[in-house]
Chains A and B, each alone.
Chain A
Amino acid sequence: MTDFLHIKNIRKTFPGVVALDDVSFSVARAEIHTLLGENGAGKSTLMNVLTGLYHPDRGEISIAGERVHFTSPRDSLAYGIGMVHQHFMLVPAHSVFENILLALENVPNFFNRKKYQEKIQNLIDEFDLDLDLDTPVWKLSIGAQQWIELIKLLMRDCQLLILDEPTAVLTPQEADRLFAVLRRLKEQGKSIIFISHKMREVMEISDRVTILKKGCSLETLNRGDFDESRLASLMIGQDKIPQWQKTLQMSDQVVLDIQGLSVRNERGLSDLDNFNLSLKKGEILGIAGVAGNGQKALAEVLTGLKNTNQGRIMAGDKDITNSNARYSYIAGIAHIPEDRKTIGIAPDMSIDDNLIMKSFKSGLFRNWIFQNKRAIRRNAAEKIAQFAIKTGPDGTPVRYLSGGNIQKVIIARELSEHPAVLVALYPTRGLDIGSAEYVHKVIADGAHRGMSTILIAEDLDELLKLSDRIAVMFRGKLIGYVDPRKTTREEIGLMMSGETPGATT
């Protein structure tokens, strides 16, 4: 094995934060190398260093034996390093061909269209991808869009491909196809850096695994030397994981009943299409589905951010579809939003201020028209202790906190009023294992007290572990319910791609 990329003693600091302390690892040609680490371990900083967005304070990067300094993503591309980001960089209205062409450098003004089409078609055939060059991108599935991103890099002749949590947006079946493509790429001698925190995938595809922890590369393990528990314990280290027991909750009392709900988005397409769902008291109802199949619209309707076009929402025997009654009821629905930084917090304000965002009008936190600063501070101190939020000095703007701590702030705020219903979208996305377990525990504890939860998540393991029932969504419709103790990943996977199950509960 010859090393394609070699990284030695990389250090990168930001004012007050050491993002990368001392990272060394190497990626060989024809290798799939996984980077594993909790959030805040420095994975994304490291990728930004590799793609030339950040400049390391110290350390060496060598490519094929040559020492390099990147000053921009252009430099790293010139050396054959390409990245598939979590959010695709595609123009939806343009065709597959046009999108790929956009990514290429040095395309002459009068180019031979046929020649390029042929070249791209060859790649498509080679990897057995099901992709038509003239289809506009918006018509394609997320999985197919990801292929375009890959083809873009291959057309630029990238030797090292970095994939940042590529399976987060895929169905299990799509992920399998992606892995097949990655293996084929490996056979051709390409190097691949794979970032993921789904153990199953890491086990399946990695040749080697490097574990990052607190900005240091802890250890690199060869295939055969690691198993799931070994990796997990290395990744978490000494950190304590909260212990909790899942107890099944089943009551027959329906707290929320959604019938025939339809919501159209700005483009006139249906986010929700004749959608039905019933939520029982004290249960955790998992919602499985590939991202973008209406989960967000569902959460927004339930929390009052979106209006419905059709259908009914009943809370007990009260119709709360569009009446004003809905608003008073919504007050009892807590919401952990998908995109915590853009809608969950006021980034420039302190923790104290963020914690009262939903209850600032309550008598607890005000005297007449004035804010009761002392009560607000006391509330913050309580929540910080209770939820173990790591924070800077008093008054530190929330945006300086880590993702996990921001999530804790949001959860602390949402649960502080003992809501009847919690709608949680991807509540552990991007969190380290310790924080994620903590979030699970909080949700499970809530269920114990009779709170009903709609848990929308992308990680099947998380859904299987936490849910009392799992509902599967596809293109805005409910495909069916499954029992997490009886179902298989394959069954859910098929339902996620729209196939109606033979037998449902």
Chain B
Amino acid sequence: MKLVIERREISSALLRFSAPIASIAVALFVAGFLLLASGVSPLAAYKEIIIESLGSLYGLSETLVKTTPLIFAGLGVSLAFRMQIWNIGAEGQIYVGAMGATWVALFSGIQNHWLMMTAMFFAAFFCGGLWAGVAGFLRARWRVNEVIVTLLMNYIAILWVDYLIYGPWKDPKGFNFPLTAQFGDAARLAEYFNTRMHSGFFLALFCALLLYLFIERTVWGYEIKVIGSNQKAAQYAGMNTGIAIFFVLFLSGAIAGLAGFSEVAGLQHRLQHGLSPGYGYTAIIIAWLAKRSAIGVVIVSFLMGVLLVGGDSLQLLWQLPVAFVYAFQGLILFFLLASDFFIIYRVKRVKGIAHA
């Protein structure tokens, strides 16, 4: 008896649909052992996560607060994935997006709320876009690997923000903390229900809808899909793939940059150290889980929001380290990638032969 691995000719829709769910389930199971090892009952912990994140208006609002940047960043990453371009730099794009929005908020002197919002929005949009656009340009012009470029530019972006808040942009009245002055009222998004939830969430949903229409209905979306399916065929059909690569990475970074806008304008009201606790990296997992669909990104971002908020309460309740949440996220991605193997291949048992 021997096991052989065979490529499936057709992978069933059921399999493709159930794979992400199964990976989450297996990740939950394995993470349970981590919890047991820390002396916490997994069931109690999972129950706690659900109750904390969804069981009250406050919990739900906090979940949506976390979901918001994840949607933006997830949409950005998934747009690039759609064209088989791997944008690993959403984290850095969030930072430069936030930086652009902050510059407008602090130094533009605009008083009108809507004008201010629009200016901040586009500042974040273009900063994020240009940041990713560098990788897009290098990839389109000289085939420089965009994974490396986007990833390494994360460090530049984060350190640049650090430089600004430790240096020129530091709040003079901030007791030397690494943060900028608070934004004025004109530079703040609306908040609701006396919670921290802000209108950035609705903006994110709107963005998801726009992106869905963009990909599925427009001529450009069609072009992106053709290039993603077969770049050579696209070239041969007369599409300019270089411009498309630059454009998609630009847009991908721009949308991720909006996460920075929504964080500073909606939540933090200033630029500060550690403004994103790794949303840009979680976005990669989200895009992968969502199988590149914009609607999927919204759903998965919400699930990740639940996990982040619930994870916080685990810290408070049982003094579990925050690393637990990241470990869990890592497990999901790990099993998801593994499940792809089983979607594409099947393992079959056959009778072996004696070698001659």
Chain B, range 222-238, C-beta contacts under 8 Å to A: 222-223, 225-226, 229-230, 232-238
- Kindly specify which of A71-79, A119-127, A286-294, A445-453 makes contact with the partner chain: A71-79
Question: Does chain A have a CB within 8 A of B143?
Answer: no
Complex Cα gap A335–B232 (Å): 14
Complex Cα gap A5–B233 (Å): 42
Please pick, from A78, A331, A357, A370, the residue contacting B233 in the complex, using a CB distance under 8 A.
Answer: A357
Chain B: how many interface residues by the 8 Å CB criterion? 32
- Kindly specify which of A165-173, A174-182, A358-366 makes contact with the partner chain: A358-366
Closest chain-A Cβ to B349's Cβ sits at a distance in Å of 10
Question: Does chain A have a CB within 8 A of B323?
Answer: no
Question: Does chain A have a CB within 8 A of B355?
Answer: yes
For A16, A74, A371, the residue with the greatest tally of chain B CB atoms inside 10 Å of its CB is A371
Question: Does chain B have a CB within 8 A of A68?
Answer: yes
Please pick, from A16, A330, A357, A373, the residue contacting B226 in the complex, using a CB distance under 8 A.
Answer: A357
Question: Does chain B have a CB within 8 A of A303?
Answer: yes
Question: Does chain A have a CB within 8 A of B33?
Answer: no
**Could you tell me if A357 and B237 are in contact, using CB atoms closer than 8 angstroms?**
yes
**Could you tell me if A79 and B356 are in contact, using CB atoms closer than 8 angstroms?**
yes
Q: Which residues of A contact B230 (CB under 8 A)?
A: 342-343, 345-348
Complex Cα gap A85–B238 (Å): 33
**Could you tell me if B218 and A71 are in contact, using CB atoms closer than 8 angstroms?**
no
With CB as the reference atom, state the residue of chain B lying closest to A400: B10
Complex Cα gap A354–B6 (Å): 29
Mostly, the B contact residues are: mixed
Question: Does chain A have a CB within 8 A of B351?
Answer: yes
Question: Does chain A have a CB within 8 A of B168?
Answer: no
**Interface size of A as a range:** 35 or more
Closest chain-A Cβ to B333's Cβ sits at a distance in Å of 23
**Could you tell me if A343 and B232 are in contact, using CB atoms closer than 8 angstroms?**
yes
A346 with B225, Cβ < 8 A, contacts A331-B238, A360-B219 known = yes
Complex Cα gap A69–B6 (Å): 16
Complex Cα gap A287–B252 (Å): 46
Please pick, from A16, A78, A357, the residue contacting B10 in the complex, using a CB distance under 8 A.
Answer: A16
Please pick, from B10, B236, B348, B352, the residue contacting A69 in the complex, using a CB distance under 8 A.
Answer: B352
Question: Does chain B have a CB within 8 A of A388?
Answer: no
Mostly, the A contact residues are: loop
Question: Does chain A have a CB within 8 A of B206?
Answer: no
A335 with B218, Cβ < 8 A, contacts A71-B4, A71-B353, A342-B230 known = no
With CB as the reference atom, state the residue of chain B lying closest to A361: B219
**Could you tell me if A370 and B229 are in contact, using CB atoms closer than 8 angstroms?**
no
Please, what's the 1-or-0 string for B1-39, where 1 marks a CB less than 8 Å from any CB in chain A? 010101011101000000000000000000000000000
A371 with B4, Cβ < 8 A, contacts A14-B9, A55-B348 known = no
Chain A, range 304-324, C-beta contacts under 8 Å to B: 304-305
Question: Does chain A have a CB within 8 A of B350?
Answer: yes
Question: Does chain A have a CB within 8 A of B220?
Answer: yes
Q: Which residues of A contact B220 (CB under 8 A)?
A: 369
Question: Does chain A have a CB within 8 A of B173?
Answer: no
Closest chain-B Cβ to A301's Cβ sits at a distance in Å of 13
Complex Cα gap A344–B234 (Å): 9
**Could you tell me if B353 and A353 are in contact, using CB atoms closer than 8 angstroms?**
no
**Could you tell me if B353 and A344 are in contact, using CB atoms closer than 8 angstroms?**
no
Chain B, range 307-356, C-beta contacts under 8 Å to A: 348, 350-353, 355-356
Please, what's the 1-or-0 string for B205-228, where 1 marks a CB less than 8 Å from any CB in chain A? 000000000000111111101100
**Could you tell me if B350 and A69 are in contact, using CB atoms closer than 8 angstroms?**
yes
Complex Cα gap A79–B354 (Å): 11
**Could you tell me if B355 and A346 are in contact, using CB atoms closer than 8 angstroms?**
no
Complex Cα gap A358–B226 (Å): 11
Q: Which residues of B contact A347 (CB under 8 A)?
A: 229-230
**Could you tell me if A366 and B232 are in contact, using CB atoms closer than 8 angstroms?**
no
A55 with B4, Cβ < 8 A, contacts A71-B352, A349-B225, A400-B10 known = yes
Closest chain-A Cβ to B326's Cβ sits at a distance in Å of 33
Question: Does chain B have a CB within 8 A of A17?
Answer: yes
Q: Which residues of A contact B217 (CB under 8 A)?
A: 370-371, 373
Question: Does chain B have a CB within 8 A of A438?
Answer: no
Closest chain-B Cβ to A292's Cβ sits at a distance in Å of 19
Please pick, from B4, B233, B238, B352, the residue contacting A343 in the complex, using a CB distance under 8 A.
Answer: B233
**Could you tell me if A68 and B219 are in contact, using CB atoms closer than 8 angstroms?**
no
**Could you tell me if B218 and A370 are in contact, using CB atoms closer than 8 angstroms?**
yes
Q: Which residues of B contact A15 (CB under 8 A)?
A: 8-10, 12
For B220, B236, B355, the residue with the greatest tally of chain A CB atoms inside 10 Å of its CB is B236
Q: Which residues of B contact A303 (CB under 8 A)?
A: 236
Closest chain-B Cβ to A453's Cβ sits at a distance in Å of 18
Question: Does chain B have a CB within 8 A of A4?
Answer: no
Complex Cα gap A78–B238 (Å): 49
Complex Cα gap A366–B223 (Å): 13
Complex Cα gap A357–B230 (Å): 11
With CB as the reference atom, state the residue of chain A lying closest to B353: A69
Q: Which residues of B contact A360 (CB under 8 A)?
A: 219, 222-223
Chain A, range 212-269, C-beta contacts under 8 Å to B: none
With CB as the reference atom, state the residue of chain B lying closest to A13: B9
With CB as the reference atom, state the residue of chain A lying closest to B213: A370
- Can you give 25 A-B contacts (C-beta < 8 A)? A14-B9, A15-B9, A16-B9, A54-B6, A68-B353, A69-B351, A70-B353, A75-B355, A79-B356, A304-B238, A305-B235, A331-B238, A335-B236, A337-B236, A342-B232, A345-B230, A349-B226, A353-B225, A357-B233, A357-B234, A358-B237, A361-B219, A369-B218, A371-B219, A373-B217
A residues with a Cβ closer than 8 A to B are 14-17, 54-55, 68-72, 74-75, 78-79, 303-305, 330-331, 335, 337, 342-349, 353, 357-358, 360-361, 366, 369-371, 373, 400
- Kindly list the 9 A-B residue pairs having the minimum CB-CB distance in the complex, ordered from nearest: A346-B229, A14-B9, A357-B237, A343-B232, A348-B229, A78-B356, A346-B226, A346-B230, A15-B10
Beyond A55-B348, A346-B234, A357-B233, 20 extra complex contacts between A and B, CB < 8 Å = A14-B10, A16-B10, A71-B4, A71-B352, A74-B355, A75-B353, A75-B355, A78-B356, A304-B238, A305-B236, A331-B238, A335-B236, A343-B236, A347-B229, A348-B229, A349-B225, A353-B226, A358-B237, A360-B222, A366-B219
